[in-house]
A and B are shown apart, each in its own frame.
Chain A
Amino acid sequence: DGGITQSPKYLFRKEGQNVTLSCEQNLNHDAMYWYRQDPGQGLRLIYYSQIVNDFQKGDIAEGYSVSREKKESFPLTVTSAQKNPTAFYLCASSMGLAGTVQETQYFGPGTRLLVL
């Protein structure tokens, strides 16, 4: 089955701790994205990557970091600098770049991050 997976489904973070959210896709998509969604709010772009070893900041990158060492994988680290990390995190991928008709995004099931 082709698709995009995220793990874990729920993640608990202690104060001062860095945590990493996993995102894997087997769709052979070039572009990958991370979004944050707060209750009743829209999607806010954290980071995106158009090709391996390259990524760009989105609207709310502060307190987050990413890597793109493999085409299939785009992990997101929520650092201790992110003071309000409680949210629903969504990873997505697209065949082509944003701004092209191939940008239709396929989303993972999401990871809900909670602070202890």
Chain B
Amino acid sequence: SQKIEQNSEALNIQEGKTATLTCNYTNYSPAYLQWYRQDPGRGPVFLLLIRENEKEKRKERLKVTFDTTLKQSLFHITASQPADSATYLCAPGGSYIPTFGRGTSLIVHP
């Protein structure tokens, strides 16, 4: 069955550093992959979509990579700020039913 793995442990970093979150998937080959941000008590918000033929996608301080050989996507936030603290979900796409990873909590300390 399809499986999406995101680090269940929270990632703690200092303000100004680069945060890197990992999404691994198995048993399928998504044509694209999405990243969402979720704040406590709120619905997820779409951030970025990267297609299988794109190695890297950037949006302001965000960067996403997609390695279809490793079956992995990395999500980077450069110059992180306390306001970036949230849970980040990955969602490999292309399957008939939408699926989300459990998310990784990012905590940016001032």
Report A's interface with B, CB cutoff 8 A: 33, 41-43, 45, 48, 58-59, 88, 90, 92, 98-99, 101, 103-110, 112
A98 to B99 Cα, complex, angstroms: 9
- Across the interface, A98 reaches (CB within 8 A) one of B36, B43, B51, B98, namely B98
A3 to B83 Cα, complex, angstroms: 23
Check A58 against B43 for contact (C-beta < 8 Å): no
Check B100 against A98 for contact (C-beta < 8 Å): no
A41 to B103 Cα, complex, angstroms: 8
Answer whether A99 and B95 are a contact pair too, CB < 8 Å, given A104-B34, A105-B46, A110-B43: yes
Answer whether A110 and B93 are a contact pair too, CB < 8 Å, given A45-B98, A101-B32, A104-B49: no
Check B46 against A104 for contact (C-beta < 8 Å): yes
Check B32 against A42 for contact (C-beta < 8 Å): no
4 additional contacts (CB under 8 A) given A42-B89, A99-B94, A108-B43: A43-B100, A99-B95, A101-B51, A109-B42
Check B96 against A42 for contact (C-beta < 8 Å): no
Chain A residue at smallest Cβ distance from B6: A42
- Across the interface, B43 reaches (CB within 8 A) one of A42, A92, A103, namely A92
A112 to B97 Cα, complex, angstroms: 24
Answer whether A98 and B96 are a contact pair too, CB < 8 Å, given A42-B102, A107-B43: yes
A3 to B91 Cα, complex, angstroms: 21
Chain A residue at smallest Cβ distance from B100: A43
Chain A residue at smallest Cβ distance from B43: A107
Check B43 against A45 for contact (C-beta < 8 Å): no
